[in-house]
Structure 1
């Protein structure tokens, strides 16, 4: 994709959205994103890589608009309508049609960057706010439907069976045995769970880089969840499991951390008892999923050292949780009120 200059991006923002101000490029893996500061607020102009389908981007926008309407307490990225009333435009850029949209910029700091400076005595409140935010996310997308949500996505836990061939390529024998046990057990239970556990449209990526925190006067609290690019249809339980998986990696007592996240989540979005009973298995499955995705990526790019370095927290947590009682996290919540 040809590079769009900030000046050219600002011309698009002004022409189609009547937004003008100071602009700078933001880092992005494949897309082109630009932050625009105006006297009325801050925005992000997003030019999608041509590999993105219009339907996939429409899914993201529709989800964000639904959440802004249903769960206004959180600062989701707000989709900005163009002057013609549309929320997603196909514009020619360097002779190539590209999907372009504008979202509000969500101020704050990523959870990953903020957590190290949060005192131990204040972390429980942050964890509870994370659970509350993800509970609102689940609740806000309840009964949300979109034709693109059924797409096959690599990070959907329903697709874990397609990765099991990577188990043999895990070099660490101890880790390989743990992944084999928990990934294969999870996969064997998928047919049963598919009939028993609620299925819904998920954000599917509430990791520590997509959770935005800010100081509300009493300390750091979760303000928003961003980046809807991994949305898919899967188990309702998965968004809670994913949030726990990443937050737990920053804590000396990951079980206590997850327990507090669950408490915040359930205050916004009660789950069935049968869902709570499987949370531990879902967290282990997400960790296995991450290990297997990294194993595949490392085979494809053996000279990229970052792939396995970024796995250190995942693998340490997986080893620790594999030794923890299945009900250690959810035991206090297994009451009839959650049926």
Structure 2
């Protein structure tokens, strides 16, 4: 498991991550994408832009109706990280072929990726995946059945990734909830006031109560970004998962961080902000039970995910106002969730997350 000293080297790590996040995404024109796809894959396609924060993503459709996703990596993305993502997707396809994840599409010469030159001589990596049908869960009403499907679906994905290793799996990532202490330097960039105080209190909770426990917990390669934008469902059956996408934040980290990160996105939409996360976590545990030490900190890590979302998005939006809407899409919910958890002790939050209400039955 990647472990970082909470006091040494954090400024350097922040600078490295800032450089990666501060590099603008490629902006190839549709005809340039068509030319690349024709040359590398032998396909004539129509091109439609897809949302992305770091990469340029394009939906493609060929004359026979086959659809694909063409990914043009951020120039700062190391090739070994692209290889890591490709290897993970192919591992899942081999070990758990029923998992609703995209498949890697090979080029005419059999390669899974290629390096291309952008304007100004900058090089980047391109690759293609199959297109998964479905709509993002964020576009559908939240239901108990949907949360159960998501919790059990993430557990199944984690089981499929068990035992998978790759040299790049232990890479540094600001979105690693288990290394939130590296963002302590960002607290001073917040405007003086209640939000800064709120963020400082949750950072202290993480450093004091969570960080010392992480090294003893089970860890593996995790998706690390399993939320309402990255899970697809059938349009007429929003509790049936048809796709899990965007493996760009994947890394080797404590498994409980995966559960907490995913659960954090279920706090909105219910009168009781713990109702959705509790349903999700219980569904996950019906497939992969959390250990007692993991249960002790899962609610802390749920709050920590909201903390890093708030800090990273505030920082990114200031630097890239042209992409502000996309960058800040989770920011209001993150601050709201932290406010909702602020008056609860660690143990109260844990119990609210893990204890079924009298009217509920476990999945």
Please indicate the TM-score interval, normalised by the length of the shorter structure.
0.7 to 0.9
The residue aligned with 2:251 is 232
Quick one: which of 154, 157, 164 aligns to 2:184? Answer: 164
Q: 5 Å matches for 1:67-146?
A: 67-92=92-117, 97-115=123-141, 123-146=143-166
The residue aligned with 1:152 is 172
CA distance in 2, matches of 1:109, 1:309: 18
Task: String of CA shifts for 1:132-170, please: whole Å, max 9, x gaps.
Answer: 121122212112111112111111123211212333443
Asked if the contact 1:79–1:87 (Cα under 8 Å) also holds between the matched residues in 2, the reply is yes
TM-score using structure 1 length: 0.85
CA distance in 1, matches of 2:209, 2:154: 25
- Is 1:37 equivalent to 2:56 in the alignment? no
The residue aligned with 2:280 is 261
CA distance in 2, matches of 1:305, 1:138: 32
- Segment drifting more, 100-109 vs 172-181: 172-181
CA distance in 2, matches of 1:2, 1:162: 28
- Is 1:249 equivalent to 2:275 in the alignment? no
Aligned residues: 326
The residue aligned with 2:219 is 199
TM-score using structure 2 length: 0.80
- Segment drifting more, 192-201 vs 272-281: 192-201
Unaligned runs of 5+ in 1: 334-339
CA distance in 2, matches of 1:308, 1:5: 26
How far does residue 295 in structure 1 lie from its aligned partner after superposition? 4.1
- Is 1:52 equivalent to 2:77 in the alignment? yes
Asked if the contact 2:84–2:169 (Cα under 8 Å) also holds between the matched residues in 1, the reply is yes
How far does residue 224 in structure 1 lie from its aligned partner after superposition? 2.2
CA distance in 2, matches of 1:313, 1:191: 24
Q: 5 Å matches for 1:6-45?
A: 6-38=30-62, 39=64, 41-45=66-70
Asked if the contact 1:20–1:36 (Cα under 8 Å) also holds between the matched residues in 2, the reply is no
